[in-house]
Chains A and B, each alone.
Chain A
């Protein structure tokens, strides 16, 4: 099943290299893949956390925003290699923030109802939003792609931005890395076992709280990473937290919360809808996105690749 993910992303990447006809197809395809890639990195963190903790983390949007803001700061402070430093450092800082959130707040709420956790992370979103205002101000920030990947190259008459390839590469790396972690390592087995039977897992010698903290930190890391990756493409500003969380929800819900493959498929679907919609029916593109999510929820409330809630 996880091979699907690689294959989907792989064949699409291949198709990008071999143009079919005309430059618009290439441009559209690159648009789809870039959008899908950046959505995948955000949504996969959200879905990973849900898979292990059965928790919808609204503050995921904050982690994403902090990743982007930290990137703008690092690019301004560190000459030349700022972006590459940010690509490593920002997600790590955000992951530390995630650890703090998990240990100080969420850990105390696992036994309570879903609403409690949902509201707690919503409260955190509000808090982080105002703290970000204090730290970075109201202004719009932006960074340009690092010099090594600026500009574009020609494929079948279309100009493909070099930076789009970076986004795609990061998404593939994240997808393959998660697939390897979850299915090919003992740690991954434990992560998947946490949801099914934490007691048994704990009795058989696994430090369950540590696993939960670790998964949450990894989710935060991915949110931070997506923030950095998206920073050269979008305006970095307050409000991007609430904005991305809705997009990430749509992707994760369509694919099925808890499923990494689902996140990949969901982001491709949304990537297609957004990119092609923007070309053919600009004013209806996002409407269609929500309708799609509602349709999926109506027919399969647990999403395309998810499992029904007990």
Chain B
């Protein structure tokens, strides 16, 4: 089973999960250990690229794009406490940038691929300016409206986007349509993206953002411009979501309106919740489980949504910290005084 290939790598990230929370003192004292696990993880992924057949590699391609997509979405979700149901706008725009650049302006893949995240970031500015005026549920609904608007535009502007059919074409160079080449390219992009997002997460900026999530009023009183901080993270998230969309094109060679749909926006939120929003690598683990779960399940049963919904419901109700979060918390608890936390768990 391919699942077992995905899981040990996930399990090993768990080891460092507590260190990834910003306040962990152990992370400072053993920096080499902190670097060890990601390096090992990337090594495992690289070996997989050499030994696996084309079929499972394709699934891994999908996973890699989703890892970036989910981690970028979680910058908002776990980092900023901003529930966006509109990240598919950027995902789809990333894919469409590559596809439409080829269709209308005969732009080469490399140009559009590196252009895509900047298009997404540029688009995130006006959307963020509007959506961030609203808070919590209203923010979620605003972003959902943008998602539907984008989806609707892509479907109805047939001359520009080819409508509901989407754009299919040979816009990916042959070095990347080769399964192994494509996989290593996506792996490299994923590693670089995660490193950059990790930098953002651990910067003073990331800390301020999490403080805003915890206590918005207090940060405002301290003189922090909440709106601007949230806008910046929204743009950063848009940047990487678009990059993920461009990664999607590498293995699918297409762009179509469903990529912009609000249900597509829901997927990275699910992944973050499954893996754990509070841990940096939580969404990545969630993406592995989501995609492999999907690919394995659809072979045997029709009711993929039923299983996904059921798992999601159970996690939301009984395991709100997600897989990594729950594990991190357990280790955290065993290292420190247990009592108080466990009582808190019992209450929640």
- Nearest 3 Cβ contacts at the A-B interface: A126-B309, A301-B134, A130-B306
Are A130 and B305 neighbours in the complex by a CB distance under 8 Å? Answer: yes
CB distance from B165 to the nearest CB of A (A): 16
Are A246 and B262 neighbours in the complex by a CB distance under 8 Å? Answer: yes
Say yes or no for A249: interface residue by CB 8 A criterion.
Answer: yes
Number of contact residues on B: which range applies? 35 or more
Find residues 111-153 in chain A having any chain B CB closer than 8 Å to their own CB.
112, 114-116, 118-120, 122-127, 129-131, 133-134
Say yes or no for B35: interface residue by CB 8 A criterion.
Answer: no
Taking CB atoms, residues of chain B closer than 8 Å to A97 are none
Given known contacts A129-B305, A286-B152, A294-B130, is B320 in contact with A122 (CB within 8 Å)?
A: no
Are B140 and A126 neighbours in the complex by a CB distance under 8 Å? Answer: no
Are B306 and A294 neighbours in the complex by a CB distance under 8 Å? Answer: no
Say yes or no for A77: interface residue by CB 8 A criterion.
Answer: no
Say yes or no for B313: interface residue by CB 8 A criterion.
Answer: yes
CB distance from B301 to the nearest CB of A (A): 10
Taking CB atoms, residues of chain B closer than 8 Å to A297 are 130-131, 133-134, 138, 141-142, 145
0/1 string, B255-277, CB within 8 A of A gives 1: 00000001100100110010000
Cα A207 to Cα B135 with chains together (Å): 31
Partner of B317, one of A109, A293, A294, A302: A109
Find residues 182-210 in chain B having any chain A CB closer than 8 Å to their own CB.
none
CB distance from B156 to the nearest CB of A (A): 5
CB distance from B320 to the nearest CB of A (A): 6
Cα A17 to Cα B149 with chains together (Å): 36
| Chain B at the A interface: SS class | helix
Say yes or no for B63: interface residue by CB 8 A criterion.
Answer: no
Which residue of chain A is the closest to B141 with respect to CB atoms? Answer: A253
Taking CB atoms, residues of chain A closer than 8 Å to B316 are 109, 116, 119-120, 123
Taking CB atoms, residues of chain B closer than 8 Å to A294 are 130, 142, 145-146, 149
- Chain B residues at the A interface, C-beta cutoff of 8 Å: 77, 83, 130-131, 133-138, 140-142, 144-146, 148-149, 152-153, 156-157, 262-263, 266, 269-270, 273, 302-306, 308-310, 312-313, 316-317, 320, 348
**Most chain A beta-carbon contacts within 10 A, residue among B136, B145, B148, B348:** B145
Cα A291 to Cα B201 with chains together (Å): 33
Are B137 and A242 neighbours in the complex by a CB distance under 8 Å? Answer: no
Taking CB atoms, residues of chain A closer than 8 Å to B131 are 297
Are A309 and B302 neighbours in the complex by a CB distance under 8 Å? Answer: no
Are A309 and B140 neighbours in the complex by a CB distance under 8 Å? Answer: no
Partner of A114, one of B83, B146, B313: B83
Apart from A123-B308, A123-B313, list 14 A-B contacts with CB within 8 A: A115-B83, A118-B137, A119-B316, A120-B313, A123-B310, A124-B313, A126-B305, A130-B309, A250-B145, A290-B148, A294-B130, A294-B146, A298-B142, A301-B133
| A–B Cβ pairs within 8 angstroms, 8 of them | A105-B313, A105-B317, A119-B269, A119-B312, A126-B308, A127-B306, A130-B304, A297-B134
CB distance from B200 to the nearest CB of A (A): 21
| Chain A at the B interface: SS class | helix
0/1 string, A256-293, CB within 8 A of B gives 1: 01000000000000000000000000011011001101
Are A249 and B141 neighbours in the complex by a CB distance under 8 Å? Answer: yes
Taking CB atoms, residues of chain A closer than 8 Å to B308 are 123, 126
CB distance from A242 to the nearest CB of B (A): 7
**Most chain A beta-carbon contacts within 10 A, residue among B152, B263, B306, B316:** B316
Say yes or no for A56: interface residue by CB 8 A criterion.
Answer: yes
Say yes or no for A14: interface residue by CB 8 A criterion.
Answer: no
Are A56 and B306 neighbours in the complex by a CB distance under 8 Å? Answer: no
Cα A56 to Cα B302 with chains together (Å): 28
Given known contacts A122-B266, A297-B138, is B148 in contact with A246 (CB within 8 Å)?
A: yes
Which residue of chain A is the closest to B310 with respect to CB atoms? Answer: A127
